[in-house]
Amino acid sequence: MTLYCLNPACPDPNNPNTHNYCQGCGQELSKTTQGYLFGDRYIIKQVLGEGNFGRTYLVEDQNFHNRKRVLKKFIANLQGKGLETAKELFKREANILDTLKHEQIPAIYDHFEENNSLYLVEEYIDGDDLVTEFEQQGIFSEDKIKSLLKDLLPVLDYLHQKNLLHRDIKPDNIMRRRYDGKLILIDFGGVKEVSNTRGTLIYTPGYAAIEQMTGHPQPASDIYSLGVTCIRLLTGCFPGDDNENDPIYDSSQATWLWQEYLEKEEIKISDQLSHILNKMLEHLAPNRYHNVKEILENLQESPTYIQPVETSTNLPISEPQKSSAYDLISVIAKPQIFLLVTCFNGSIIIAWLIKYFLYPSSSKPLLLWEKIINYVTLLSVFIILFSFLSYLIFLIKNKNKLPTTIKRTFLASPNHSLKNTQITPTSSNPLKTQKTNSQIPATPSNLSNNHSTIKPTT
Q: Which residues contact 426 (CB under 8 A, 6 or more apart)?
A: 451, 452, 453
Q: What's the Cα-to-Cα distance from 338 to each of 56, 351, 386, 397, 407, rounded to whole Å?
A: 80, 20, 10, 17, 16
CB 209 within 8 A of CB 170: no
The length of the chain in residues reads 458
334 a known binding residue? no
168 is catalytic: yes
Q: Give the number of other CB atoms < 10 A from CB of residue 241.
A: 7
Q: How far is Cα 343 from Cα 356, in angstroms, rounded to an integer?
A: 20
Q: Alpha-carbon torsion 304, 308, 313, 318, what sign?
A: negative
Q: Residue type for 200, please? A: T
Q: Which residues contact 380 (CB under 8 A, 6 or more apart)?
A: 344, 345, 346, 348, 349
**Chain Cα centroid distance, residue 286:** 28
The per-residue DSSP string of 378-414 comes to HHHHHHHHHHHHHHHHHHHHTTTTHHHHHHHHHHS-T
Which whole-number Å values give the CA distances from 188 to 39, 106, 250, 262, 297, in the listed order?
21, 9, 29, 32, 27
CB atoms within 10 A of CB 249: 19
Say if residues 226 and 156 touch (Cβ distance below 8 Å): yes
For CA atoms 429, 432, 433, 435, give the dihedral sign: negative
Q: How many CA atoms lie within 13 A of 345 on its CB side?
A: 20
Burial 344-362 (b: 16+ CB within 10 A, else e): ebeebeeebeeeeeeeeee
CA angle in degrees (0–180, nearest 5) for 128-207-221: 110
Catalytic residue among 61, 110, 129, 168: 168
**Torsional class of 355: left (φ above 0), alpha (ψ -120 to 50), beta (otherwise):** alpha
How far from chain centre, in Å, is Cα 434? 62
What is the DSSP code string of 292-328?
HHHHHHHHHSPP---PPPP--S-PPP-PPPPPHHHHH
Task: Give the residue numbers marked as catalytic.
Answer: 168
- Which residue positions form the known binding site? 72
- Which residue positions form the known binding site for ATP? 72
